Homo-oligomer: A and B are copies of this chain.
């Protein structure tokens, strides 16, 4: 078996990279989109459906799983892999982002964050150490450092303080994370300021880790500012380590970020919009609720090989959506995840074959 954490570049084309990261639950081939399974399930999907559609990695969430069912129960049930019946790699988010976006009455101190559960209002406390303990109990293959995620907009003073706190918390995270089978990734913050991002990157790199992430996006900032920043910062992250852009994004966002040298992504987008009837196809975005589809016998995407497109018409999918039937959410989710996984598999192929720019431009054209 390959060494856990080993990262091998198989090819580059411009800044875009094709690589392999070894984890305790098998290799991850990049660029990769990771399916979000916040509460120990990728909404509506079985693990087999994920695998069939090309899923390599599932995300779990420390904040949600700490609240329900509790990491003690997951650990007792044999860890998150066994609990949810997923045998591939799992990455867990540290809970930092969710504490800031979901919970109320949070109180940040040097020690950690006190907050109220968004479910029952219970007072809870997560420190870097606690976040590591939860993620180790879950048995994650990739563990994210506990960070503070500043809001947008945010003044520079607050950004600098937050960035420095995140660095101190990173060191405590590393100190506590002693599970050999897990890989700890650090998170670069700094808001939308290039200078602060570069400072944060430099300080984060002082801590030697098997991977580094860009955090703090998807907080309401104008999307072009994220694009610009990732374009400037992405390729300056370490060459020999995986680069992960957290919580991003649309197919266009992904392709622009791969172009900047990013390797890993996660986002609720494909699964969430699927349940709202929005589908990504080789012809662009499509809203299944539109009346024009009510008697359309064609599949969502004639170029798609997913189960949904092989077996169902737009007319049927529209009917399921309009009647609020569960199966509609399932079939739409299958299609969107298949699109995302294959978008990244196609990117990998194009990079290895040296035709990345054509691939990139085709996707840009489709979605702009």
| Chain A residues with a Cβ under 8 A of chain B | 39-41, 43-46, 68-69, 73, 76-78, 83-85, 294-295, 297, 307, 311-313, 315-316, 318-320, 322-323, 325-327, 329-330
When distances are taken between beta carbons in the complex, the residues of chain B under 8 Å from A319 are 39-40, 68-69, 73, 83
How many subunits of this chain does the assembly comprise? 2
Verify B45–A77 contact, CB threshold 8 A: no
Verify B68–A322 contact, CB threshold 8 A: yes
Asked if A46 meets B313 with Cβ closer than 8 Å, knowing A69-B294, A294-B73, A319-B40, the reply is no
Extra contacts, 8 of them, besides A40-B316, A41-B327, A77-B295 (Cβ < 8 A), are: A40-B320, A41-B325, A43-B325, A43-B326, A44-B327, A44-B330, A73-B295, A73-B319
Verify A315–B69 contact, CB threshold 8 A: yes
When distances are taken between beta carbons in the complex, the residues of chain B under 8 Å from A313 are 77, 83
Verify B83–A323 contact, CB threshold 8 A: no
Asked if A84 meets B316 with Cβ closer than 8 Å, knowing A77-B297, A294-B69, the reply is yes
Q: Give Cα distance in the complex from A323 to B44, angstroms.
A: 13
When distances are taken between beta carbons in the complex, the residues of chain B under 8 Å from A329 are 326
Cβ contact of A320, chosen from B41, B45, B73, cutoff 8 A: B41
Distance from A209 Cβ to chain B, minimum over Cβ atoms (Å): 31
Distance from A61 Cβ to chain B, minimum over Cβ atoms (Å): 12
Verify A327–B46 contact, CB threshold 8 A: yes
When distances are taken between beta carbons in the complex, the residues of chain B under 8 Å from A315 are 69, 73, 77, 83
Distance from A293 Cβ to chain B, minimum over Cβ atoms (Å): 11
When distances are taken between beta carbons in the complex, the residues of chain B under 8 Å from A327 are 41, 43-46
Which residue of chain B is the closest to A39 with respect to CB atoms? B323
Which residue of chain B is the closest to A70 with respect to CB atoms? B294
Distance from A198 Cβ to chain B, minimum over Cβ atoms (Å): 40
Q: Give Cα distance in the complex from A329 to B45, angstroms.
A: 11
Verify A316–B77 contact, CB threshold 8 A: yes
Q: Give Cα distance in the complex from A40 to B78, angstroms.
A: 39
Distance from A189 Cβ to chain B, minimum over Cβ atoms (Å): 30
Which residue of chain B is the closest to A323 with respect to CB atoms? B39
Pick 10 A–B contacts, CB within 8 A, sort by A: A40-B316, A41-B320, A69-B319, A73-B294, A73-B315, A78-B297, A83-B319, A85-B311, A326-B326, A326-B329
Across the A-B interface, give the 5 residue pairs with the lowest CB-CB distance, nearest first. Answer: A44-B326, A69-B319, A41-B327, A85-B311, A39-B323
Q: Give Cα distance in the complex from A315 to B82, angstroms.
A: 11
Which residue of chain B is the closest to A307 with respect to CB atoms? B46
When distances are taken between beta carbons in the complex, the residues of chain B under 8 Å from A330 are 44, 46, 326, 330
When distances are taken between beta carbons in the complex, the residues of chain B under 8 Å from A297 are 76-78
Distance from A178 Cβ to chain B, minimum over Cβ atoms (Å): 25
Which residue of chain B is the closest to A318 with respect to CB atoms? B69
Distance from A289 Cβ to chain B, minimum over Cβ atoms (Å): 13
When distances are taken between beta carbons in the complex, the residues of chain B under 8 Å from A44 are 326-327, 330
When distances are taken between beta carbons in the complex, the residues of chain B under 8 Å from A45 are 327
